[in-house]
A = this chain, B = another copy of it.
Amino acid sequence: MQALPGFRDFLPSDCAVRNYIFAQWREVSRRYGFVEYDGPLLEDLELFKKKSGDEIGKQLYDFTDKGGRAVALRPEMTPTLARMVAGAHRDFRKPMKWFCVPQMFRYERMQRGRLREHYQYNCDIIGDAGIEADVELIAVCIDMLRSFGFGADDVVVRISDREFWVEFLRGQDLPEDQWQQTLEVIDKSEREPREKTAARLGELAEPVLKILDGGGQSEKLGRLMDGLRQRGLAEFATVDLGIVRGLAYYTGVVFEAFDRGRNLRAIAGGGRYDNLIAQLSDGTASLPAIGFAMGDVVLGELMQNHAGARAKMEAAVARERELDAYVVIAKEERRGDAIAVVQALRNQHYRVDYPLSPTKVGRQFQHAEQLGAHAAVLFGDEWPQVKVKDLATREEQLVPQEELLAHLSASASLSSRGR
């Protein structure tokens, strides 16, 4: 039997990569003063339909539960966030700086390599409508990418402003019910021939294309870039009014992060949604907000293609699994003494393994190496002395058994993890 199509098994090596990504997401978030939350993986179907209408409905992983209730595996976090904020925001000082690391689901016709689940970091500032909140949030996004080992030559955050376009459209005498449609054409313009975009824009083609060619000026985005410059992060960002993001609910600054080579889909994306929480909570909570999301799949591909990021990831993966010591039992008569030392080291929080059943000494050392142990501690003919081998330097030392624990705790052979 296999995993269901579109679902991943995480063997230990895959799980370690996932843990590294999660750890970076959490570490950088906390550096910026964000706190973690989570919601249920399954929600009432209505919650998701309310936000996105039928647009998302087609890809929803929804079903009817045994009680006849229409439910869905979450496709995104914002509806759950809005629901939780509506219920609890009075207990929290504003702005609320919240992040989470949820798994998301979608159901669509399977194509090769398309997944039905992924993990998606979400980060939101709720209760502050100012431009500095925009700067702070985009700074998290940039610093997140930096923390994985990417530089300004590798990635770029393209920043735009829905308000700019709304003001433009208002000046064009276009009925308001056609705005969203025009924004969607602009959103797609980069991936379509110029003539097709022009044809779809009709009378608006000339002024819009002029803006997309760099002819637009936004004082707000200028201030936003100044804010990033002040933090030394401006080289990671660029103003690009061609970014509008398809979703209807964005109200201000929007942005997307890409690899500079544009080989992959967007790594991250987000924007300001000042009306959405009120809408999703039926007015229970009316709070401005800005947020972004970053998935594990595109990020993972990007890391695999970048030597520095890959090396950083591999080092972290090795650190996660490395043992402090492997206890080699060369004489079965010494098993009891060996296990006592195994336990004593574990009691001091060191990571220690040993052979559960009689095993050839050569294989035990091989195992110690494969497990990335710092030291091998050999119980054998030398008893009551114990041989300690530093597996990095290959240095060996004979230590009297009564001094062994003190020696190992003081030794550079073990990591600084234990105490």
Residues on A facing B (Cβ under 8 Å): 1-4, 7-12, 15-16, 18-19, 27, 30-33, 35-44, 46-47, 61-67, 69, 71, 73, 80, 83-84, 86-88, 93, 95, 97-98, 100, 103, 107, 117, 125, 128, 130, 132-133, 136, 139, 143, 227, 230-233, 281, 320-321, 323, 336, 339-340, 343, 346-347, 349-353, 356-357, 367, 370-371
User: With A41-B41, A230-B340 given, is the CB distance from A353 to B10 under 8 Å?
Assistant: no
Assembly stoichiometry (copies): 2
Report whether A125 and B39 are in contact in the complex, using a CB–CB cutoff of 8 Å: no
Residues of B contacting A343 with CB < 8 Å? 139, 230-233
CB proximity of A254 to chain B, nearest CB, Å: 19
Report whether A1 and B346 are in contact in the complex, using a CB–CB cutoff of 8 Å: no
Minimum CB distance partner of A35 in chain B: B12
- Bound: A124/B320 CA distance, A: 19
- Bound: A12/B30 CA distance, A: 12
Q: Which of A37, A340, A367, A370 has the most CB of B within 10 A?
A: A37
- Cβ-defined partner of A357 (8 Å) among B130, B352, B356: B130
Report whether A46 and B1 are in contact in the complex, using a CB–CB cutoff of 8 Å: yes
Q: A1-B281, A9-B87, A62-B66 are in contact. List 9 more A-B contacts (CB 8 A).
A: A2-B87, A4-B40, A7-B40, A31-B346, A32-B352, A41-B117, A128-B357, A227-B339, A231-B343
CB proximity of A295 to chain B, nearest CB, Å: 17
